Amino acid sequence: MKDLITPKRSLTEETEKMLNKQIVMEGKSSAYYLSMASWCETKGYINSSKFLYEHSNEERGHMLKLFSYINEAGGHALQPAINEIRHDFNSLREVFELILEHELKVTQSIHSLVDHCFITKDFTTFNFLQWFVTEQREEETISRRALEIFDIIGEEGMGLWHIDIELGKLHGVDAKNTDAKAL
């Protein structure tokens, strides 16, 4: 059977390999947040679990966005093997500390991709990745806000209950609006 799409490609093999590595990172993000959501739910942090379930789906969407781009540019997006996902955590605060740490790593990875595309003059992919640059800024802002909630409310007494309620409100927070309010 003859291939339906011409074999010509606009992605270099190196860029395709880097984008596939980003797929792995986004897939692991989705799985990591899904595991965190499940842990939260079993510990009674219902609002935090809802936030993390939604966040897991969002990360999967990022992965699929990369899949489409690679394939449409003549490359081949690869489904990553997802393993070594942590399932137990010491506290709700630790979950959100790990999220910020992870999001900072994702940002570094996106920046490396953007830098590669700029150097190789792959401006189409460079342009495509600008969405991810903006998205990572928002992810970091939300992660920082989550940790601020712990600091503002405190974990003693009814604190964790109130923190869980506030964390549930974080999904969909617009980083631009929260930054403007801080000024």
In eight-state DSSP terms, residue 162 is: H
Q: Are 28 and 84 in contact (CB under 8 A)?
A: no
Q: 132-159: per-residue pLDDT in tens? A: 999 999 999 999 999 999 999 998 999 9
Express each pLDDT in 101-116 by its tens digit: 999 999 999 999 999 9
At 178 the pLDDT is 40
- Among 180, 60, 58, 65, smallest CA distance to 130 is for 65
Q: How many CB atoms lie within 10 A of CB 7?
A: 6
Task: Read off the pTM.
Answer: 0.86
Of 85, 88, 96, the closest CA to residue 52 belongs to: 96
| Chain segment 40-74, per-residue pLDDT in tens | 999 999 999 999 999 999 999 999 999 999 999 99
Give the annotated binding-site residues for Fe cation: 26, 59, 62, 103, 136
- With b for 16 or more beta-carbon neighbours within 10 A and e for fewer, the 14-29 pattern comes to ebbebbbebbbbbbbb
Q: Which residues are annotated as a binding site?
A: 26, 59, 62, 103, 136
Half-sphere exposure of 132 (CA within 13 A, CB side): 29
Report, as an integer, the average pLDDT of 30-37. Answer: 97
For residue 27, the SS3 value is: helix
Report how far residue 116's alpha carbon sits from residue 87's, in angstroms, rounded to the nearest whole number. Answer: 34
pLDDT tens digit string along 8-21?
778 899 999 999 99
pLDDT for residue 172:
55
